[in-house]
Amino acid sequence: MALFSRQKPAPVAPVNPWVLAGAAAKAQRETEASLAAGSPVFEPRKGGRPTVEHPRTRRVSMSLTEEEHESWTVAAAGRSLSAWAREQVAAQLEQGQPQNNGSEVARLRADLGRVGSNLNQLVRAVNSGHTPGSAELLEAVQAAREELARVRGELP
């Protein structure tokens, strides 16, 4: 269409290389002068969102009851709930609590099983007519109590 139109394109003004070189030289002189004067030269800020050093890219979700949500919000004291929860979890991990409690729970179950087995043997002996001496019975019951107290003390 432009080939057959009678309008001529607007002339483009030629670029003067001396003017461009002069602007660059002026900027260079200003930078050198400010460095010589001791004042720092600040680079212009980049546009857009600021970059984060350690961005959080993984999302964890949980559901709370109304009461839990209210109590957590009160405990957060004006901070965001996610930041508060993250701080609480990090604090628990820093306290040195074991991350994998499976082996500890298995050991405690084994201890409780041994205590239960001892009590069952004692009750079977009493029911079958084998009456242990009162001192022996008292000692066995006391040992069972001490073992239970120890196991309870180890439970979280």
CA distances from 100 to 10, 45, 90, 97 (A): 77, 47, 16, 9
pLDDT of the chain along its 156 residues, tens only?
555 666 776 777 776 666 666 667 777 778 777 777 766 666 777 777 777 788 888 888 889 899 999 998 999 998 889 889 988 888 888 887 655 667 777 887 888 888 788 778 877 877 887 776 677 777 877 887 788 788 777 766
Distance CA 116, CA 119 (A): 5
Distance CA 108, CA 152 (A): 9
Full-model pTM: 0.33
Q: Where are the domains of the chain?
A: 102-154
